[in-house]
Amino acid sequence: MFIVVANWKMNGDVAFARAYAQALENFSPSGAEIVILPPYPLLTAIQGNFKLGAQNCYWAEKGAYTSQVSPYLLKSLGCDYVLLGHSERREAGETSASVMKKAEAAHKAGLKTIICAGEKAGEDFKKITFAQLDNSVPASADKTNTIIAYEPVWAIGTGETPTIAQIEERHEAVVEKYGFPTIYGGSVKLENAAEISKLKNVNGLLVGGASLDVEGFKKIIQNCHPVE
Ligand code: PGA
């Protein structure tokens, strides 16, 4: 199963979410798992023919943690997935240690985790990505509840991507070391999605900016290998 994730980041409103869900009605290409990650408040505004996930969560089940969101609440809202350790969160102070606690709590609540890692411009891919993953992936992770998202930070929202050979080589290294399904993120768009999706150890795509146009997002999915 090839997984295509739409990370809306802090975009969209209720009308946008409803129209998006409507545009995905009757859209179910075989071989694709579609996951939509809207901002928290829109989780109730978008339901349909796809899986739902959140862009973050907290590690506690409940309690006096103003502004935080429990993985149990996400589960009760119909979420199957939660994204953790996105570089935009790491940049704002999220540590690998907190990602690990959150991932463990998410697994306990029955959510699948998409754990992000990747190097910044000029950093060593292996050293940084492996260090982040070593410290972010909890012992509760297995092939059924964990997906790794390799996202070179310098490729996010910039229109730049590693070369196809680099993506292939890096995914192979991640899959070889961790054994989890691994998806690629960072400036995925219609023009490059098909080529990236064909690579052996690329098990899916994490799409940010290009997912906001639902018709374009549908085309990306349709163009993915092996999705028909
Ligand atoms: P982008 O974002 O597709 O806009 O580069 C990807 C992401 O941050 O998940």
Backbone angles phi, psi at 204, to 5 degrees: 170, 180
pLDDT score of 7: 98
Using a 6 Å cutoff on CB, does residue 208 contact ligand 1? yes
Instruction: Work out the end-to-end distance of the chain between its first and last CA atoms, rounded to an integer number of angstroms.
Output: 12
Which residue from 68, 69, 3 is spatially nearest to 36, judged by alpha carbons?
A: 3
| Residue 86 annotated among the catalytic residues of the structure | yes
Contact indicator for 142, 124 with CB cutoff of 8 Å = no
C-beta of residue 185 within 8 angstroms of C-beta of residue 114:
no
Give how far the C-alpha of residue 33 lies from the chain's centroid of Cα atoms, to the nearest Å: 12
pLDDT, position 228: 54
Pocket-testing residue among 206, 212, 217, ligand 1, by greatest number of atoms within 8 A of Cβ:
206
Residue 226 has pLDDT above 70, yes or no: no
Do 210 and 188 contact (CB within 8 A), yes or no? yes
> CB of 80 within 8 A of CB of 111?
yes
Task: Tell me the chain's radius of gyration from C-alpha atoms.
Answer: 16
Considering the entire predicted model, what is its pTM? 0.97
Q: Mean of the pLDDT values across residues 87-101? A: 98
**What's residue 31's pLDDT?**
87
Q: How many CB atoms lie under 10 A from the CB of residue 122?
A: 6
Pairing of strands 146-150, 51-54: unpaired
The residue type at 158 = T
User: Catalytic pick from 86, 88, 94, 107?
Assistant: 86
Contacts of 83 (CB under 8 A, 6+ apart): 5, 7, 37, 53, 54, 55, 56, 113, 114, 116, 149
The pLDDT tens digits for 152-190 are 999 999 999 999 999 999 999 999 999 999 999 999 999
Q: Is 216 in the pocket of ligand 1 (CB under 6 A)?
A: no
Question: Does the C-beta of 157 come closer than 6 Å to ligand 1?
Answer: yes
Distance of CA 208 to the CA centre of its chain: 9
Q: Determine what percent of the chain is predicted with pLDDT higher than 70.
A: 99
Confidence of residue 34 (pLDDT cuts 50, 70, 90): very high
Q: Hey, what are 222's tokens?
A: 């349709």
The amino acid occupying position 25 is E
